[in-house]
Structure 1
Amino acid sequence: MRRIALLVMDGVRMFDISVVAEVFRNDRIPGGSAPFDLRTCGVDREPVALEHGASMAARQTLAWLRTADLVIVPGVTSPTAAFPQPVLRALRSAHRAGTPVAALCLGAFVLAQAGLLDGRRAVTHWNAAELLARRHPEVKVDPTALYVEDDGVWTSAGVAGGIDLCLHLVRVGHGAETAAAIARAMVVAPFRTGDQAQFVDRPIPVRDEGDELLTAVRTRALAELEQPLTVPRLAAWAGLSERTFARRFLATTGTTPAQWLIAQRVLRAQRLLEQTDLPMDRVAAASGFGSPVTLRQHFVERVGLAPRDYRRSFRRIG
């Protein structure tokens, strides 16, 4: 996933363009490697009108999409606009050729107009989910998730969801450590699963002792991830009933304790596969899965590759 085409046309959001440009920057990659070749692509190289009176010219025409490994569509300011037919045709052609196509936020409406979301699960900003479902009833709209993939077509929720999706695509194409390095440079969360909620019930209180307690529980769980942790055990650490703990955990983080544990264990397994030559049984044990079979089941579900295939692609030792 080296050659990345960023689609630009009238009405795309400057922030989404900036998100893609910030994530896919080579100067943040350890060791001085240059894994990304990011190019803006448009109908032609004439300036296009962005929001707030800004404009920009594409570096390449739509023909470059044929050589791309990934096509990204930024969000748009007017989701009900009629998007250029050459753009829609180019997106359909790229997908038919097997190129992954991703849309940030309201960019999902562009993919929907191109017909790429018909019969597929998709997300967009929660405030526009009903509009997407109404205008494109063929789309299986998920109003809650941060980002989803269906048959090589990726969609994401709002501002933070777009960052999460881009980092996930880096993780899939270039490994967990590369994604973590970029996240550190951007000072953002390195890993949020796509099924995490777009927003939580109690957004960022100034001081909340309950949240501090759950933060302490998560910190302890990460330190003891290889242990047979269970939701009842985490609840006991917090001094709460299992039901109350699960409810507060979901309200604070947007995901369940069990799903959070699986996500953190997969992330640890990714790092071990990249950085060590430990056999699979020890990787499974160190990441808390207990057996290679369980490791493989959750790893494939979350990453899309078997652990051995992932190691062959991203191993960084030797």
Structure 2
Amino acid sequence: MSSSRMRRATVLVLEGAKPLDVGIPAQVFTTRASMPYEVRVCGAAPGLVTGGDGLSYHVAHGLDALEWAEIVFIPGYRFPDREDPPAAVVRALLAAHARGARLAAISTGAFALAATGLLDGRRATTHWHYSRALKAKHPLVRVDENVLFVDEGSVLTSAGAASGIDLCLHILRTDLGVAASNHAARRLVAAPYRSGGQAQYVPRSLPEPLGERFAATREWALHRLGEPLTLKALARHAAVSPRTLSRRFVEDTGYTPMQWVMRARIDLARELLERTERGVEQIAADVGLGTGANLRTHFQRILGTTPTEYRRTFFRRD
């Protein structure tokens, strides 16, 4: 998709809305030179909306903002299992979806999205605390409580608040490419990507020093993607055994160590395709994949397209 035009995003604030859930899409997609989106915050009607956690919101727009939007974010809200959102909200969401808008729910916003029936028969997630309630209230939804977010094309859902950032960065990667997503992640001081399939939480706590070492190892690897990176080399840097690294790394990132390295290499290749005129063979060497054929194979497997098609779609001359 070209990034030359402004995209239209609406954040729908419902009664009991959670502040972080509202703030994440509003901040991620706020209009700036690097972010070609216009954001409108709306409610069931313009005016004051009582939120959760002691905050309220004064929204400038009513449901007419959903008629304008290309993507609608539905932040989480308090007590979603007690009653459905107003019928007018459900109708407006259905009308927006019928027009082609994407609907993206953060945390318990999935309950409002499920009330439209658009999640019936589809995978979806929500905050782990409410996953059973979502299953009970909307039994046709295929609730997956062990993921950070689910992308079903025109409807997307995420887990608890912080995973809303992961969902927003995923949407940016889809719309604008990995360079824009990474830029936003740096601005947010957030991880550039976490697997949507990563578990929401680990029942046992990881020792803090071990987690810090893995973060340092990931950063170390990101600066050496063009070099040979083996499981033994990563484990040696992390000062753990390869077996321990393999087991803990999945809990930390959602990927095995070498899957994570491959994902990082493909993302670096994406950024080079977007921002440089280097050939595919040179990029393959730069990111540690050796040959253009190897890059094409992994690019197709992970992204479902070719480097050439990706460049045609996302290349930008600065």
TM bucket, shorter chain: 0.7 to 0.9
User: What does residue 3 of structure 2 align with?
Assistant: none
User: What does residue 73 of structure 1 align with?
Assistant: 74
User: What does residue 97 of structure 2 align with?
Assistant: 95
Cα deviation, residue 122, structure 1: 0.9
Measure the CA separation in 2 of the matches of 1:305 and 1:161: 26
1:109 counterpart letter in structure 2: F
User: What does residue 248 of structure 1 align with?
Assistant: 248
User: What does residue 2 of structure 1 align with?
Assistant: 7
Worse overlay, 38-47 or 149-158: 38-47
Cα deviation, residue 174, structure 1: 2.3
Say whether the 8 Å CA contact 1:269–1:284 is kept in structure 2. Answer: yes
1:284 counterpart letter in structure 2: A
User: What does residue 288 of structure 2 align with?
Assistant: 288
Say whether the 8 Å CA contact 2:50–2:57 is kept in structure 1. Answer: yes
Measure the CA separation in 2 of the matches of 1:303 and 1:65: 30
In the alignment, structure 1 residue 186 sits paired with structure 2 residue 193: no
Say whether the 8 Å CA contact 1:122–1:142 is kept in structure 2. Answer: yes
User: What does residue 269 of structure 2 align with?
Assistant: 269
For 2:186, what is the secondary structure of its paired residue? Answer: helix
Gap change, CA 1:52 and 1:129, over 3 Å in 2: closer
The percentage of aligned residue pairs carrying the same residue is 42
Gap change, CA 1:47 and 1:216, over 3 Å in 2: closer
Measure the CA separation in 1 of the matches of 2:116 and 2:200: 25
Cα deviation, residue 287, structure 1: 2.7
Gap change, CA 1:249 and 1:9, over 3 Å in 2: closer
How many residues align? The count is 312
Gap change, CA 1:298 and 1:146, over 3 Å in 2: farther
In the alignment, structure 1 residue 177 sits paired with structure 2 residue 179: yes
Worse overlay, 174-183 or 295-304: 295-304
User: What does residue 132 of structure 2 align with?
Assistant: 130
Q: Unaligned stretches of 5+ in structure 1?
A: none
Gap change, CA 1:266 and 1:93, over 3 Å in 2: farther
Cα deviation, residue 99, structure 1: 1.6
Measure the CA separation in 1 of the matches of 2:59 and 2:306: 38
For 1:51, what is the secondary structure of its paired residue? Answer: coil
**RMSD value, Cα:** 2.7
Cα deviation, residue 140, structure 1: 1.3
2:130 counterpart letter in structure 1: A
User: What does residue 30 of structure 2 align with?
Assistant: 25
In the alignment, structure 1 residue 258 sits paired with structure 2 residue 258: yes
User: What does residue 316 of structure 2 align with?
Assistant: 316
Measure the CA separation in 2 of the matches of 1:47 and 1:171: 34
Worse overlay, 216-225 or 7-16: 216-225
Gap change, CA 1:142 and 1:262, over 3 Å in 2: farther
For 2:108, what is the secondary structure of its paired residue? Answer: helix
- TM-score of the superposed pair, with normalisation by structure 2: 0.86
Gap change, CA 1:127 and 1:96, over 3 Å in 2: same
Gap change, CA 1:46 and 1:130, over 3 Å in 2: same
Worse overlay, 225-234 or 255-264: 225-234
Gap change, CA 1:245 and 1:185, over 3 Å in 2: closer
Within 5 A, what are the aligned runs for 1:28-39? 29-30=33-34, 35-39=36-40
Cα deviation, residue 231, structure 1: 3.7
For 2:78, what is the secondary structure of its paired residue? Answer: coil
Cα deviation, residue 202, structure 1: 5.3
Cα deviation, residue 193, structure 1: 2.2
Say whether the 8 Å CA contact 2:13–2:43 is kept in structure 1. Answer: yes
Say whether the 8 Å CA contact 2:52–2:77 is kept in structure 1. Answer: no
User: What does residue 16 of structure 1 align with?
Assistant: 21
For 1:60, what is the secondary structure of its paired residue? Answer: coil
Q: Unaligned stretches of 5+ in structure 2?
A: 1-5
Gap change, CA 1:249 and 1:19, over 3 Å in 2: same
String of CA shifts for 1:2-45, please: whole Å, max 9, x gaps.
10011122222222111122212234x45xxx611000133322
